[in-house]
Structure 1
Amino acid sequence: MTEHRTDVIILGAGPAGYTAAIYAARASRRPILLTGMQPGGQLVTTTDVENYPGFANVIQGPWLVEQMQAQAEHMGTRIMYDHIVSIETGSRPFRLIGDSGDHYICDALIYATGAQAKWLGIPSEDIFRGFGVSACATCDGFFFRDKRVAIVGGGNTAVEEALYLANIASSVTLIHRRDTLRAERILQERLFAHPAINIRWNCEVASIVGERNPTKVDGVVVKDCTNGTADRIAVDGVFIAIGHAPASALLDGKVELHRDGYIKVKPGTTTTSITGLFAAGDVADGIYRQAVTAAGLGCMAALEADRFLTVHASSNVEPRKEAIVA
């Protein structure tokens, strides 16, 4: 077992984590960034990225992550490929224990583990993911201008994405396994009133179909939940909108969480209910979930961590637990 001691540790290797690392390194805080099991986060599984500022042409998600990592390392960040299995937050310095057996000790912790989209879990979904199957209409909707798309889900996210896509696509079909929606009433009213949106009630997706060379979606097979019959809908894209799962399990019972698992932060900050622990990116943002907003929160977390370390120079101060009013 090896102990690694530094001022700031960043947990998570997505846009939030790498941006936090860049700012912490520039502040001479000797940051260590722990990548976890999926370095790069959701960007690694994203092919075309067109909405990240600074690039006139479409770029690839994995390439963007590589550039972020290179910049963080160039600034002085130490990247360590370990998966954290537990975090001790009862006293400062914080102690993180890796799957490798190593211990990582810091006075300020930036938790930027992100969130994962919930998927249907059918084999065809994996085949076409990134080639017509997406979990983010804001990210990928532009690629389906004047095309036919389907949305799967019945909550606020599904309805909001259907309304968003209705202004881009030629037609939108919302597929929901029940006969009523869970979305807010005002959103439902807008959905029902939109002429470009069709709803398939009591249906679930049996498979996504398309071509393989090149790989692209050209339809979705839906099964009627009431009688078991199936039919095919011609679409060019399928958006899965059945929710996201924030990667906050390591802090469950230690820091204040929202009911859906997102970490509570003080409004306008990345401050959590434990002094010295900051949350950035999608793990604390259940609304926007964009690479650029995650990066912004990573910047905030690093700046706040630097201020915190300046004020709390002693590493023997007990973390103060506070209620977060969200």
Structure 2
Amino acid sequence: MGKVLILGAGPAGVSAALYAKRGGAEVTVVYKGNDTGALGKAELIQNYYGLEKAVSGEELERRGIEGAKALGIDFVEDELVELGYGDDFKSFKAKSAKAEYRAEAVIIAAGASRRSLPLPGLKELEGHGVSYCATCDAFFYKGKTVAVLGAGDYALHEAEVLLPHAAKVYLFTNGEEAGKVPAGVEVIPGKLASLQGTDRVEKTVFADGRELPLDGLFVALGTAGSTELARKLGVMLEGGNIKVDGQMATNVPGIFAAGDCTGGLLQIAKAVYQGAEAGLAAVKFLRGKA
């Protein structure tokens, strides 16, 4: 039938792989390995169908990948730097620093990458008070003090999501200028020096020496990732997200997208649904070429 190359091994990518494989396609999933996406950084997942008890995002992600591997789906840990047409302009090729992958259809499901900072303590406290999704984790900070790191539209949205839950919401712009800040959010523009805590986030320290007690920090420094690869093929974007139709097809025949990179609700359930649609659509596309 043909090959389907899937970029990303989160809920959308794995779901797409399962449906494409069951449809008869040869499937390869390329993902960054230990550089996990939003799900892998989630502290606890408990608002998802079939979970008797809350599990870490890392564990749920592992289960998904292992289940797909059991069906014979090929997973490759690699970081792609290029996505383009094959020599015949009827297929596609993706390149990394060490390999090249070819396929007749591509599903972009690498998520919306969260730009980060080389801030001491940030990476160490991921999943322990540092979050990348307010919609996912706001509930766990009811009545607590939190901050959003960022200054763009995404950061302002995250702060707005947190307001009904947290007792206090700060916006750390780290020297950048913020847009229209929601009422009730206090802006602190100073440069950050470090994030501190023993087992969880406890406080942030600013470059001028000030300290601020904190229960959680939500990182929202913008999105990129999947869209950067999509741009190389002329895929249309909408508000920084990949534009797709109801079958997850982009404007480029043979290129599909699913999950966080398409915008909208950044939730597992939505990513799994879109992945299923994309996998089925890719199989239908390949059958049409046969």
Query: Which TM-score band (shorter chain)?
Result: 0.7 to 0.9
Aligned residue number for residue 241 of structure 2: 262
CA distance in 2, matches of 1:151, 1:81: 31
1:193-272 equivalences in 2 (<5 Å): 197-210=184-197, 212=198, 215-223=199-207, 229-258=208-237, 262-266=241-245, 268-272=246-250
CA distance in 2, matches of 1:181, 1:96: 36
Give the TM-score normalised by the residue count of structure 2: 0.86
1:85 CA drift (Å): 4.3
In the alignment, is the contact (CA less than 8 A) between 2:37 and 2:111 conserved in 1? Answer: yes
1:92 CA drift (Å): 1.6
Aligned residue number for residue 43 of structure 1: 39
The one of 255, 261, 275 aligned to 1:283: 261
1:117 CA drift (Å): 0.9
2:264 is aligned with 1:302: no
Per the alignment, in what secondary structure is the counterpart of residue 221 of structure 2? coil
Deviation by residue 1:52-81 (Cα, 9 ceiling, x = unmatched) = 322132102222122112221233322234
1:82 CA drift (Å): 4.1
Deviation by residue 1:295-314 (Cα, 9 ceiling, x = unmatched) = 2211111111122122222x
CA distance in 1, matches of 2:193, 2:277: 43
In the alignment, is the contact (CA less than 8 A) between 2:159 and 2:185 conserved in 1? Answer: no
> Given the superposition, is the C-alpha separation of residues 209 and 284 from structure 1 closer, same or farther in structure 2, using an over 3 Å criterion?
same
2:53 is aligned with 1:66: no
> Given the superposition, is the C-alpha separation of residues 57 and 222 from structure 1 closer, same or farther in structure 2, using an over 3 Å criterion?
same
1:1-326 equivalences in 2 (<5 Å): 6-38=2-34, 41-89=37-85, 91-101=89-99, 103-177=100-174, 181-183=178-180, 188=181, 191-192=182-183, 197-210=184-197, 212=198, 215-223=199-207, 229-258=208-237, 262-266=241-245, 268-285=246-263, 287-313=264-290
Runs of 4 or more above 6 Å deviation:
none
Per the alignment, in what secondary structure is the counterpart of residue 224 of structure 2? strand
Amino acid at match of 1:96: A
Amino acid at match of 1:56: E
Give the TM-score normalised by the residue count of structure 1: 0.78
Per the alignment, in what secondary structure is the counterpart of residue 201 of structure 2? strand
In the alignment, is the contact (CA less than 8 A) between 2:41 and 2:131 conserved in 1? Answer: no
1:156 CA drift (Å): 2.6
Amino acid at match of 2:143: D
CA distance in 1, matches of 2:84, 2:151: 38
Per the alignment, in what secondary structure is the counterpart of residue 20 of structure 1? helix
Alignment identity in percent? 32
In the alignment, is the contact (CA less than 8 A) between 2:227 and 2:237 conserved in 1? Answer: no
CA distance in 1, matches of 2:239, 2:82: 21
1:179 CA drift (Å): 9.0
Bigger Rg, structure 1 or 2: 1
CA distance in 1, matches of 2:176, 2:124: 29
In the alignment, is the contact (CA less than 8 A) between 1:87 and 1:97 conserved in 2? Answer: yes
Amino acid at match of 1:107: E
CA distance in 1, matches of 2:283, 2:130: 40
CA distance in 2, matches of 1:112, 1:260: 17
- Structure 1: tracts of 5 or more residues without a match: 224-228, 314-326
Q: 12-21 vs 120-129, which deviates more?
A: 120-129
Tell me the matched-pair count: 288
1:259 CA drift (Å): 7.3
- Structure 2: tracts of 5 or more residues without a match: none
In the alignment, is the contact (CA less than 8 A) between 2:38 and 2:133 conserved in 1? Answer: no
1:284 CA drift (Å): 2.8
> Given the superposition, is the C-alpha separation of residues 36 and 71 from structure 1 closer, same or farther in structure 2, using an over 3 Å criterion?
same
CA distance in 2, matches of 1:98, 1:177: 33
In the alignment, is the contact (CA less than 8 A) between 2:14 and 2:68 conserved in 1? Answer: yes
> Given the superposition, is the C-alpha separation of residues 88 and 62 from structure 1 closer, same or farther in structure 2, using an over 3 Å criterion?
same
